Structure 1
Amino acid sequence: MIRFTERAGDLLFEVRVVPRAARSRIVGEQAGALRVQLAAPPVDGAANEELVRVLAEALGVSPSAIEIVRGEKSRVKQIRVRGFDGGEKLQRLAASNARR
């Protein structure tokens, strides 16, 4: 189950990224965080940009609404989605993309 916080209309949660994957996609949950594989390498912010694009598309929000709050140079990142209170949608997203 993804741990998240809804505060003042924002959604905060953790993401665990796997850079240099075959393709970019959400693959489920790991240790309370959303697990995301990214095709981009972790060079010059390319993986972070790809992460924002993947999350925005999956959650149906603008990329400008997504902010990496902590962990820009780490595989574990804290994400803020401004103006989004879809914690349940986040849970369904992780469950529907979980590896079987």
Structure 2
Amino acid sequence: MDLKAIEALVELESQASAGPWYVRRLDDELCMGALAVSTRPDTGANESMRAGNWPGEEIVAACTIQSPPYVVPADDRDEQNARLIADVRNALPELLRLARLALAKG
């Protein structure tokens, strides 16, 4: 990876929602759940799309939306995908800093 690619990632990271990101389980009274990546930690509350208390402004990615099945990964790796998205987002600033240092040392 060269400096141009690193700088493109730096720009992309600066345009995305601020971190940290968290994996969040959302489940309503009918157990119609969702697994999402959010800018806030999981609250443990039953937040429902139907009741209007869905925290949409905090969600940056949906990895599962059960009913109707809007988002259901074919490989059933929704939890792993959510963790990867959140963990990579949270690690990205430090990874980019280290990549810049490594390129500067040549």
TM-score range, shorter chain: under 0.3
Greater relative contact order: 1 or 2 (C-alpha under 8 angstroms, separation 6 or more)? 1
With normalisation by structure 1, the TM-score equals 0.28
Rg bigger for which structure?
Answer: 2
Q: Comparing both structures, which one devotes a greater share of its residues to strand?
A: 1
With normalisation by structure 2, the TM-score equals 0.27
Q: Comparing both structures, which one devotes a greater share of its residues to helix?
A: 2
